Amino acid sequence: MDSLIQLGAAKPAARLKGDRMTIERFSRTGTTGTQFESEGLLKSAPLPREHGAWVMLLLPLLVGGVLGGHPGDMRLLELAGAAFLAFAARNAASLFWRRRSNIIAGCWTILYGIFALLLGLPLVAGPSGDAASMRLLALAVLPSLALFTLFVIVKPRSRFDRTTVGEIVGVAALTATGPAAYLISSGRLDRSAILLWAVNFIYYSGGVVYVKMRLDAMKHRADWTQPTKFATGYLNLVLTLFVGAGVFVLAVEWPAHGMLMAVAFAPALTRGLIGWVLLKPALPRLKYLGIAEATIALWFSLFLVFALRGT
C-alpha cells in the first residue's frame, strides 16, 4: 500500500490509477474489517490485518482492566487471547463462506474457534454457576454469536460488514471487551461497565465515520462541488456536533468527571470538525492517517480512565 501512496511523483494518469487502486483496496478492507490476500493462504494463517480493529479490540480491554481495580489479573490475558482468536476465527470463516472451495480457511476457522473456546470457557464456567461468569457469558459470548451469524452465515457475500452500518455494528462487538475486562477485574457489572461500553462505542463509531468520509471524498475527484462535499461529510459533521453537544452538557452538569471526558474527546472532535471543513477529494496518506487515529485513541483511552474513575 505504501508504494501506491508514493505515486505522487508519477504522471497524473498513473497517479489517478494508483489512487483508485488504493481506495478500492482500502474500501474492500473496511475500517473495522479484515483483509486477506489469497496468495499468502498456504504460507501463513489468515489473520485480520486492519490495525484499526485491533485498537478497538485491545484499548477498551486495557481501560476496563484498569478501571476494575485489578489490571494484573491473569484472567485478563485469557480474555485478550480469547477475543483475539474469536476475531481471527470470524475473519477466516468469512473467507471460507465467500470462497466456498477454500478448505484451508475453513480449517483455520475451526482451529481458531477451538482455542478461543479453550481460553474463553474458564471465564464463563465459574464454580457453581458463578453469577459474574454468567453475566460475562451474556455480555460477550451471546452477542458475538449473533454477530457471527449475521456477518458470516446470513450475509456472506453482500459485504454488509463493509458498509458504514455494518462496521458500526462491528464496533459494538469489538468494544465489548471493555465491560468484559471490567467485570473480570472488579467482579461487578454495574453502571461503570455500561458507561465504558457506551463511551467507547460512540468514540470509535466516530472514527469509522471520519475515515470513510476521507475515503469516499476520493471517489468524487471528477465532480467535486460544495453539495458533493456536504453529502460526503454530513454524517461525520452531524455526529461530531452531536457528540460535542453531549460532552458539553456533561462538563456543565457533571464537572468532576465531565471535564475529563471533554478532554478525552477533544482531539477527536477537533479532527472531525476540521476534517470536514478542509475536506477535499485527495488521497489521504493512509499510513499517517492510521498513526494519527491510533494516537488520538491512546489519548482518549488515557483520559477516559481518569474520567470514569469513581463513577
Note whether 181 and 57 are same-domain residues: yes
Domain endpoint, select from 158, 189, 220: 189
- Shared domain for 169 and 221, answered yes or no, is no
Residue 1 lies in a domain: no
- Distance, in Å, from the CA atom of 46 to the CA atom of 1, rounded to the nearest integer, reads 19
Is 40 among the domain residues?
Answer: no
Please identify which residue in the block is written with the cell numbers 477466516: 92
Any domain includes 10: no
Q: Does 150 lie in the same domain as 63? A: yes
pLDDT tier at 242, thresholds 50, 70, 90: very high
End-to-end CA distance of the chain: 43
Q: Is the pLDDT of residue 44 over 70?
A: no
Lowest mean pLDDT among 148-152, 267-271, 282-286: 148-152
Q: Which residue has the cell 497524473?
A: 12
- Which range has the worst mean pLDDT, 9-13, 62-66, 290-294? 9-13
Q: Distance of CA 1 to CAs 17, 18, 24, 130, 163, Å?
A: 13, 10, 11, 48, 21
Between 149 and 101, residue with greater pLDDT = 149
- Are 203 and 288 members of one domain? yes
Question: Do residue 118 and residue 206 come from a single domain?
Answer: no
The position carrying cell 472531525 is 272
Written as one letter, the residue type at 29 is T
Range of the domain at 78: 49-189
DSSP state at residue 6? G
Question: Residue 62 above 80 pLDDT?
Answer: yes
pLDDT tens for residues 175-202? 989 998 998 888 888 888 889 999 999 9
**CA 2 to CA 283: how far, in whole Å?**
12
Provide the greatest CA pair distance for the chain: 69
Q: Cβ distance 240 to 276 under 8 Å?
A: yes
Radius of gyration of the chain (CA): 20
- Whether residue 166 is found in the same domain as residue 249: no
Q: How confident is the model at residue 128 (pLDDT cuts 50, 70, 90)?
A: low
Asked which of 171, 189, 207 is the last residue of a domain, the reply is: 189
